[in-house]
Amino acid sequence: MKVEEIKVSLRDVRRAIKDFYNPDEWHFVTVNGTDLGGKVELKWFFAKYGEEEVFTVFTSEASYEDEIPTITYIIPSAWIAEWELADLLGLNVEGAKKGLFLDPDSPKAPLRRG
């Protein structure tokens, strides 16, 4: 597997993805959040069309209070993954509405530790 992992600060994520992303070449898989306890590790996964096991992953860290920049200006379909981050990890993602995956009486931010 060929994986290029690019670490960027949260502030630079959108610009880095904008510079990198070409929809004819790369398939946006999803964005994943992992709670590290007090902060969250975010990973944006891209797979190359037509090639075997070629990935680019953008990695960043955010605190619970940070505003996560949306990449829907660049990749319109990313909204669903971003809204999921807002629901399941309780993150403050720019433009995301809560309640797509969880009902109002569900536990809040169930994927947070502690």
Which of 23, 38, 67, 73 contacts another protein by CB under 8 A? 23
Measure the CA dihedral 85/86/90/91, to 10°.
80
> Does residue 27 interact with another protein by CB under 8 A?
yes
> Does residue 109 interact with another protein by CB under 8 A?
no
Considering only residues 58 to 87 of the shown chain, the ones binding another protein according to CB under 8 A are: 75-77, 79-81, 87
d(CA 91, CA 88): 8
Identify which of residues 11 and 104 has a Cβ nearer to another protein in the complex.
104
Closest C-alpha among 112, 108, 87, 107 to residue 97: 87
d(CA 67, CA 57): 20
> Does residue 105 interact with another protein by CB under 8 A?
no
Identify which of residues 19 and 24 has a Cβ nearer to another protein in the complex.
24
Q: Which stretch binds another protein (CB under 8 A): 8-16, 28-36, 63-71?
A: 28-36
Identify which of residues 11 and 49 has a Cβ nearer to another protein in the complex.
49
Looking at the DSSP bridge assignments, the partners of residue 62 are 40
d(CA 57, CA 46): 6
> Does residue 114 interact with another protein by CB under 8 A?
no
